[in-house]
């Protein structure tokens, strides 16, 4: 080869998965200044070996491209390590014992925070066909305000001490887009359902400092690196998270990322999905205020830290009946859910218009928009709103995408493919939201097809895969396994195998607006 370029490092005698159009394998890689400059067979790549080149013999080991998580909540995931994890709790007795022990080791008056609890799995409550309430935990947490964050990241349960500290009682109205659990007499039972309610419950909790957030983020990035991740999309971060619990994904978290970037300490590339809300309540006016006041120009090296995506919520999660469906819930005849917009009296037209105007505003200003839309009605409204924005203000593709929307009607995905609208889905192997069999109990046939991606891909929709991790990292290998096998995590039964992916095609895209320079193009030596 004429004018050969010597590499800083050459890796030979390996099995390099290129993940190209033919899913070909090579044997060697040449790296210069942290970037891969050539991939090929040993003889070809050895030409890049110079006097100063480090040569690594892989001994036949496999090299995979680094992974990208298209939707994860790193700020909250790292914060969950400082909480009492109750993901495995299945009985009230065990929950009470853990809380009693935590209270004994927590200074009086300090908050006790639980994460990962699935109240539907508490056997005593299931046997009595009732919800878990504050009265189930009050006596073992009497000296501490206590918040039990549920597994879905959208709801929580608090004790009586926390209610009193927040000044909440029977006279407190439901926030727009949220619901407060109540007894037949109207007394609050401690359940706060969906994001606006969750913000209301945790308004008096102390917020984390930027320094503490930096430590959290670095620890989480190290964990992601250890699992092969080199980049990710932070699923919702910004002023809309300032009043949620300790503010692990609020404005201070963005400031923490910025400082880490300035200090050269980031070990993974980050795309932030900017979330605007006022105590969990979204509106076009609030979004305009936050877009006008936030300094998006502060992201000077967008290869490492970027913020060009706006995150919106259209609905909630199936297990709390807060997803917006076209048909009745299987376990709640006569109810189809609703969006998060407006109060109970808001018409369907008003709810649709609220989402449409927010998407239009963000699109007009040049942002990519990611919308949490789980129910098939929410997916339809979201895709239609995207199309209207694209038609009204045409131009370069923003790569808008629907989050969690695999229950959507397939004719809506035909429209999505036509207009370059992506789907970011999370084929996670566990959890009630991701278990096909369990979701079918709530959403019927729509629940069975959830996370089924084969036919959506066949329609031409680009799919991006993520974990939606909020308290635990689900590594990409398990997600691929879940998408390929379609096994129910609760029973092991294969559900709708015709929707399974071939392992070669499983969620290989990133929805980021900077798709060329991702971590998988970079040689990771950390």
Task: Kindly report, residue by residue over 176-226, the tens digit of the pLDDT.
Answer: 999 999 999 999 999 999 999 999 999 899 999 999 999 999 999 999 999
Query: Domain spanning 275-293+306-512 has what CATH number?
Result: 3.20.20.140
Residue 248: name the closest of 75, 69, 441 by CA. 75
pTM for the whole thing? Answer: 0.91
In angstroms, what CA-CA distances link 18 with 5, 22, 263, 291, 496?
21, 9, 32, 40, 30
Residues 334, 339, 341, 342: what is their CA dihedral angle, to the nearest 10 degrees?
0
Whether 9-64 and 275-293+306-512 share one fold: the answer is: no
**Per-residue confidence in pLDDT tens, the chain, 526 aa:** 568 899 999 999 999 998 887 889 999 999 999 889 999 999 999 999 999 999 999 999 999 888 999 999 999 999 999 999 999 999 999 999 999 999 999 999 999 999 999 998 999 998 999 999 999 999 999 999 999 999 888 999 999 999 999 999 999 999 999 999 999 999 999 999 999 999 999 989 999 999 999 999 999 999 999 999 999 999 999 999 999 999 999 999 999 999 999 999 999 999 999 999 999 999 999 999 999 999 998 898 999 999 999 999 999 999 889 999 999 999 999 999 999 999 888 999 999 999 999 999 999 999 999 999 999 999 999 999 999 999 999 999 999 999 999 899 999 999 999 999 999 998 875 565 567 777 888 898 888 877 778 889 999 999 998 889 888 777 888 888 888 888 877 777 887 888 877 644 545 556 766 544 444 333 333 3
CATH dotted code for 9-64: 2.30.40.10
Q: What single DSSP character describes residue 509?
A: B
Any idea where the domains of the chain sit in the sequence?
Answer: 9-64, 88-150+156-193, 275-293+306-512
Distance CA 166, CA 161 (A): 9
Distance CA 37, CA 381 (A): 45
DSSP 431-453: STTT-HHHHHHHHTHHHHTTT--
CA dihedral 208, 211, 213, 217 (to 10 degrees): -170
Q: In whole angstroms, give the CA distance from residue 483 to residue 110.
A: 42
Q: Return the percentage of the chain with pLDDT > 90, whole number.
A: 75
């Amino acid at each position: 080869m004429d004018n050969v370029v010597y590499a800083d490092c050459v890796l030979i005698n390996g099995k390099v998965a290129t993940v190209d159009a033919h899913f070909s394998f090579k044997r060697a890689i040449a790296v210069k200044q942290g970037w891969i400059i050539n991939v090929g067979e040993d003889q070809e790549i050895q030409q890049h070996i110079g006097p100063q080149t480090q040569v690594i013999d892989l001994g036949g080991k496999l090299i995979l491209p680094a992974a990208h998580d298209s939707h994860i909540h790193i700020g909250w995931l790292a914060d969950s390590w400082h909480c009492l994890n109750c993901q495995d709790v299945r009985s009230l007795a065990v929950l009470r014992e853990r809380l009693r022990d935590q209270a004994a080791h927590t200074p009086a008056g300090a908050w006790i925070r639980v994460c990962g609890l699935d109240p539907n799995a508490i056997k005593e409550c299931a046997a009595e066909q009732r919800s878990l309430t504050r009265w189930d935990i009050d006596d073992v947490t009497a000296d501490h305000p206590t918040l039990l964050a549920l597994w879905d990241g959208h709801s929580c349960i608090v004790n009586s001490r926390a209610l009193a500290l927040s000044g909440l009682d029977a006279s407190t109205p439901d926030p727009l887009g949220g619901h407060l659990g109540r007894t037949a007499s109207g007394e609050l039972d401690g359940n706060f359902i969906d994001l606006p309610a969750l913000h209301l419950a945790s308004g008096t909790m102390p917020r984390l400092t930027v320094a503490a957030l930096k430590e959290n983020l670095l620890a989480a990035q190290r964990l992601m690196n250890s699992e092969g991740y080199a980049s990710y999309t932070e699923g919702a971060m910004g002023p809309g998270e300032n009043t949620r619990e300790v503010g692990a994904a609020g404005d201070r978290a963005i400031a923490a990322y910025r400082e880490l970037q300035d200090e050269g300490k980031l070990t993974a590339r980050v795309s932030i999905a900017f979330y605007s809300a006022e105590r969990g309540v979204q509106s076009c006016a609030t979004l305009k205020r936050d877009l006008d006041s936030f300094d998006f120009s502060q992201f000077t090296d967008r290869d490492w830290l970027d913020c060009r995506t706006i995150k919106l919520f259209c609905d909630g999660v199936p297990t709390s009946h807060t997803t917006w469906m076209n048909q009745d819930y299987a376990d709640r005849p006569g109810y189809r859910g609703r969006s998060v917009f407006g109060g109970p009296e808001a018409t369907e037209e008003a709810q649709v218009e609220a989402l449409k105007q927010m998407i239009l505003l963000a699109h007009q200003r040049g942002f990519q928009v990611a919308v949490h839309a789980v129910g098939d009605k929410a997916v339809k409204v979201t895709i239609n709103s995207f199309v209207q924005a694209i038609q009204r203000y045409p131009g370069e593709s923003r790569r808008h995408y629907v989050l969690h929307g695999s229950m959507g009607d397939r004719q809506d995905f035909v429209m999505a493919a036509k207009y370059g609208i992506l789907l970011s889905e999370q084929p996670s192997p566990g959890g009630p939201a991701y278990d096909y069999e369990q979701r079918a109990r709530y959403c019927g046939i729509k629940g069975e097809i959830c996370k089924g991606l084969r036919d959506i891909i066949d329609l031409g929709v680009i799919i991006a895969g993520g974990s939606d991790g909020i308290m635990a990292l689900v590594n990409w290998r398990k997600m691929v396994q879940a998408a390929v096998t379609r096994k129910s995590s609760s029973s092991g039964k294969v559900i709708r195998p015709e929707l399974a992916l071939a392992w070669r095609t499983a969620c290989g895209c990133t929805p980021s607006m900077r798709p060329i320079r991702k971590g998988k193009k970079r040689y990771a030596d950390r």
